[in-house]
Every structure is written in structure tokens, then in C-alpha cells.
Chains A and B, each alone.
Chain A
């Protein structure tokens, strides 16, 4: 479905990255494949370094860290936040919502909305669409969108399908009403019939965790348990190549903005190969669609898009204006895209935890 939002804007983006760096080669011996084959895959997919938080760090720890940084730097007034949206697949608890936990730990005002949403690869776009919708309310003037995923704990180190690309990260995005006339265009689609393409089968109410679900099983040389993330790589690749290009074409037509007028195509980054194929299919020059997040930080699900923005053009965005096409696609299955102008952000930077 196509969506349109008037007079909303992003005023700041902060990415919180783990200080701990792991190299692809560090884990290569755990894969049940030849070294030469793994190294070739590293080159094609763009795997190199990925970052992971420590074993006992949780989503609320990272969220509190990022928000406290903004409060202490004078970049965000704690009492001005009317809604805290947390998009994550790695909550602290089944209940209560982790956004409530963060609100409490930071002693934020009671007169606000806290909301957890379970989304992954398209979580930045789903979060922005939700924030724009909340800002339609007269009494909501500022929304904090917190994207955080710490899924490395849920990926088997013996799964060459998923471990080389996984990363942890969080981002804080501030969305406000725009005093100037502006229009944001969005598109979102979902297909739950393919929900098993990316999933953690056990550990919820459908299949509770047990000694049996913790046993490693062999899937074509990849060893993982039912409590680990499982990805049907072929199905996900075909889904992305089939569904994403027409979604982008449709969104650009809806917005009336020429493909060439978009300065940056910031897409979710599962791997370099997939991004290059999307760029070629859409006829977009590779320099307009950066694909360097997986190789430098790993794929932290919904955080790859804000990381791509802060890493590639963070220093430019505080004093310039650019048109972006943002896109996320994956778990759900969910795919979504947004055309937005971002200009003169109050901050656009990365920090380490």
C-alpha cells in the first residue's frame, strides 16, 4: 500500500555500535566447509568484520546508553519526548515491553506512549511509518524511534548461512513535525504465508525451549538448533529480487520523483552481492547505493539503514539536504520503502558501546 505523510521530518540519527569486533577468519574453522570455499564466499558476499555486544548486554542497556548520550550532549530534551517506539526482535523480556523498561530506567515523563514492535529487516521503515502516523496527533510533537537488534546470541557459530553476516547494533532516530511544507512518500507490503523463510522456531509459546530444541542439527553442512535463527537463503534472495524492484518503481511513480533525482538509495544490507544485483536491476549507480555495512559492521537487521546513513554521509547531513530512498526487506516477510528529504539534521553520528 502507498502512504503519504505531510509536514514530518527526521531531525537526528545516532547509531550505537558494539566496540567488540570479530573477523570473518576468526570463526572460519567452525564452518563445515573448505577454507577456500569460505574465502571465496567472503569475497563475493562482502563479509569481513562484524560487531557484537557482550554476552550480558541487552536491548534496554544499549537503548538507555544511546538516549543518555543524547540527553547528556544536549541533543535531546528528555521531557520533550512524547513517544518511544522500540523496533526489535530481541526484547529483554516476554513481558513487559522493553520500551517501558527503558522509559523507567531513564526516569522519563509518564505523559507519553511506549510501544514495542516486532519487526526486523524492514524495522527502520516500519518504525518511521508508525512515527509519522503518531505525529498526526495534536499532542505528539516528538517521537523517538529506537531500533535495536542483538541477534548474534541467537545465531549458531556453526551456521555459515547466517553467522558471517550477523551483527548487533542500535540506532536512535528523532522524528518531529516539520514547520515547513514537506511530503514523505512510503510503501509497505507484508506476506505472512512465507513467515518461515526467516525465523527462530523454538523458544516461544508454540515450541517452548527444551533440551531437545537446544540440540544442534545438520542442515546441508550448517549446524544449528531450533533455538537459533534459521534462514532459507535461496527463498530470501528470490523474494528480494522479485519484490523489491517493483516496489521501488511503484514508490517513485507514486511520489513523482525521478529515479535520478534521488541522491542516495539506502537499502537494508544482508550482503554486498544482493545489493549490487538490486542496484543493477533498478539501473542505479552503485555509488548511490552503499553496500559497505555488512563488511564493516555486520547485518544488524533494521539498524543497517540508519548505520548506512551515519557511516557514509553522517558528517554531510548536518549541513546539507539530500533526497533518500530507504528500503527494508526480510523477516515477516515484510518489505517497505520511503522517499524522504533529509536536511540540516541536528546530529547524525555513530558512537560505540
Chain B
């Protein structure tokens, strides 16, 4: 399974993220989930995501989360 998807599933096991193209608009991630996700992504990719990047546009789908990771120095 994709590493990002695996982390998302760990945060919200009851949600099928692969069926959504906009996690925020579909109500799958709230602000606390975003903080938890950032914490888990930091640990998984050994980076520290810039606090100014913790905004909804980087959490709408797997693609935007990948973009966030690359922007913050992750090697995918």
C-alpha cells in the first residue's frame, strides 16, 4: 500500500480515502487530523514540514500531500 495512504488509514481507519478526490471538502480530514497527519509524515519521511504549509490546499488528496512532502524535502 502507498505509504501516505497507509498513514491516512491509520488516522481514520473507517474512511476509504481512495474513493475521494477532495479529503477536506468531503469532510474526511479536520484540522486535528491534519496536525496528526503532519506529525506522522514528519516521522515517516524524517522531515519537519514547515508550519506555514499546514493549510488545507496541501491536504486535499494524495497528490497534494505528495507535493507537500517534496516541498519540505522528502525523498519519495
Contacts and interface: CB of A to CB of B under 8 A. Distances in A.
A237 B32 contact: no
Contacts, number: 39
Interface of B: 11, 30-32, 35-36, 39, 48, 50-52, 54-55
Nearest to A37: B32
A44 B36 contact: yes
B27 to A, nearest CB: 10
B48 A277 contact: yes
Given A241-B52, A280-B48, A234 B39 contact: no
B39 to A, nearest CB: 5
A105 interface: no
A274 B11 contact: no
Contacts of B48: 276-277, 280
Nearest to A233: B31
Nearest to A33: B32
Contacts of A280: 48, 50-51
A193 interface: no
Contacts of A276: 48
Counting contact residues on chain A (CB < 8 A from B), the size range is 20 to 34
Contacts of A240: 51
Contacts of B50: 241, 277, 280-281
16 contacts: A40-B11, A40-B36, A41-B32, A41-B36, A44-B35, A220-B30, A238-B54, A238-B55, A273-B39, A274-B51, A277-B50, A277-B51, A277-B54, A278-B51, A281-B51, A281-B52
A234 B48 CA distance: 19
Contacts of B30: 220
A338 to B, nearest CB: 22
Contacts of A130: none
Contacts of A251: none
Interface string A121-149: 00000000000000000000000000000
A234 B51 CA distance: 11
Contacts of A234: 31
A45 interface: yes
The listed residue with most A CB atoms (<10 A of its CB), out of B35, B50, B51, is: B51
Interface string A17-51: 00000000000000000000100110011000000
Contacts of B54: 237-238, 241, 277
Contacts of B32: 37, 41
A146 to B, nearest CB: 32
Given A40-B11, A220-B30, A233-B31, A241 B39 contact: no
Contacts of A278: 51
